[in-house]
Amino acid sequence: MTRSTGRASTNGALPVGVRCSLLLVMALGACSPTDPQKTDAVHRVSGLSMGTSWNLVAVDAPGGVGGAGVSQDGLAAAVQQELDQVDRAMSTWKVESELSRFNRSSAGETTDLSAETASVVELALDVWDRSGGAFDPTVGPLVDVWGFGAGSRNTMAPSDEERERLLSLVGMDGLELLPAANDRHELRKLREGLQLDLSGIAKGFAVDEAAAALEALDLAGYFLEVGGEVRFGGQSPRGDRWRVGIERPMVDGREVALAVSPDSGAVATSGDYRRFRDVDGARVSHTIDPRTGRPVLDAPASVTVVGPSCARADALATALMVLGADAGLRLIEETQGYEALFLLHDGGAFTERQSSGFAGMRVELPAATH
């Protein structure tokens, strides 16, 4: 993960290097700076953190950001501070992060955690339990051996013996989050060799934290995207609800498949259509089932989860990729406040399966996006 100072756009447009991830959404939910329907100031700022880009569209309320003296740079700083704080605590790349210290510890040792990291571990344990282990932040050694880890160049499938050995290191039952005492939070490692990587949930948590900071500024509305994870609230620049475009799974290019318009909340998507490897001459999905130690066969092309928390939506999207449509939809129907859409491979096309409440959030695509 990297750190960079947030930067404001000077011409009302997103900088070229970070424009793509918001472009489709902007076409669905916002207006141009000269739109005659626009009555409130629209701020567009962007930056880098957690090894990815972030983009914010904020709609000023009368007497809000501008009236209260908070500048466009102040908006950027509010987002950047929250993202960088999570990065410092939960990055596996920073040697002094809380997570890195835990990973260096031995079985039986405890590691002090901040309240924020403890809450993320607690949520990860909850989703791991509810999903029957389909979401598991300790799966890293298996991801590496199949060639999908950072810097991994492995192009051969592991032997059954090696897979079973690594599988014995995996599982959230190999750690214990101790009850908080006097505002002190501790995490104990129970299994030697266990490694914890919260990247499948920490980014969503960081989005939630940044969104809370934005909501404290009394904006008329905001739309925040961090590496493809989204939180939004209030009104779009047009004065209506935000519309979020969901991409069609494509290896090359980008195209909107459909749009949703919830009142507010978060959208997280997971997919395998841009991440796969040739292993022993066969195409292998990057989605590893933590329960078997093998890549998921016939994995969904993508899963999109909508709900109030980006952190939980982030973790659920990963779990549903492993579970598949049948078991995944059962889980999402049991998870209050969350809905999901599966895009499934069907020959050279895709079919959809959705949870019971997802259809009610769908809206028509503007003609320009078809």
Q: Supply 275's token pair.
A: 């991440």
* Residue 296 and residue 205 in one domain: yes
**One domain, residues 204 and 176:** no
Query: Do 214 and 332 have their domain in common?
Result: yes
Whether the per-residue pLDDT at 266 is higher than 70: the answer is: yes
- Domains of the chain: total: 2
pLDDT tier, 10 (very low <50, low <70, confident <90, very high otherwise): very low
Predicted local distance difference test score (pLDDT) of residue 335? 98
Burial class of residue 207, CB neighbours in 10 A (0-12, 13-18, 19+):
buried
Helix (H) and strand (E) counts in the chain: 8, 19
Alpha helices in the chain (DSSP H): 20-29, 72-90, 98-104, 115-130, 140-145, 160-167, 199-215, 310-333
| Top-confidence residue, 15 or 244 | 244
Residue 1, domain member (yes or no) = no
Domain boundary pick from 148, 180, 198? 198
- Residue closest to 267 by CA, chosen among 167, 338, 322: 338
- Do 163 and 266 lie in one domain? The reply is no
pLDDT for residue 36 is more than 50: no
State how far the alpha carbon of 189 is from the alpha carbons of 198, 230, 302, in Å: 15, 32, 33
Quick check: 26 pLDDT over 50?
no
Residue of 248, 241, 226, 244 whose CA lies nearest to 351: 248
Q: How far apart are the first and last CA of the chain?
A: 35
Q: Which of 163, 198, 233 is the last residue of a domain?
A: 198
DSSP 8-state assignment for residue 48: E
- Band (pLDDT 50/70/90 cuts) for residue 268 is very high
The one-letter amino acid code at 319 reads: A
267, 260 contact by CB (below 8 A): yes
Tell me the pLDDT band of 223, cut-offs 50, 70 and 90: very high
Percentage of the chain exceeding pLDDT 70 = 78
Average pLDDT over residues 194-219: 96
Tell me whether residue 365 is exposed, middle or buried, using C-beta atoms within 10 angstroms of its C-beta: 0 to 12, 13 to 18, 19 or more.
Answer: middle
Give pLDDT, residue 78. 96
Sign of the alpha-carbon dihedral angle for 14, 18, 20, 21: negative
Between CA 355 and CA 327 the distance in angstroms is 12
Is 318 among the annotated ligand-binding positions?
yes
Q: How many CA atoms lie within 13 A of 199 on its CB side?
A: 18
314 carries a ligand binding annotation: yes
Q: Does 115 share its domain with 72?
A: no
Percent of the chain with pLDDT over 90: 64
Tell me if 218 is assigned to a ligand binding site: no
79 and 208 share one domain: yes
- Examine the domain organization and report whether 217 and 194 are in the same domain: no
> Within this chain, do residues 350 and 218 fall inside the same structural domain, yes or no?
yes
352 belongs to a structural domain:
yes
Number of Cβ within a 10 Å radius of residue 254: 12
Amino acid in position 273: Y
pLDDT at 70: 64
Domain span at residue 325 reads 7-89+200-369
Which of 10-14, 80-84, 344-348 has the weakest average pLDDT? 10-14
What angle separates helix 115-130 from helix 310-333, to the nearest 10 degrees? 20
Cβ 341 vs Cβ 352: under 8 Å: yes
Question: What is the spatial distance between Cα 82 and Cα 44, in angstroms, rounded to a whole number?
Answer: 18
343 with 301: CB under 8 angstroms?
Answer: yes
Of 40-44, 98-102, 140-144, the range with the lowest mean pLDDT is 40-44
Across the chain, what does the average pLDDT equal? 84
Q: Is residue 265 a part of any domain in this protein?
A: yes
Whether residue 120 lies inside any domain: the answer is: yes
Tell me the Cα Rg of the chain.
Answer: 21
**Which pair of structure tokens corresponds to residue 189?**
């490692």
Contact partners, residue 35, CB within 8 Å, separation at least 6: 237, 238
Query: Both 33 and 130 in a single domain?
Result: no
Q: Do the Cβ atoms of 43 and 60 come closer than 8 Å?
A: yes
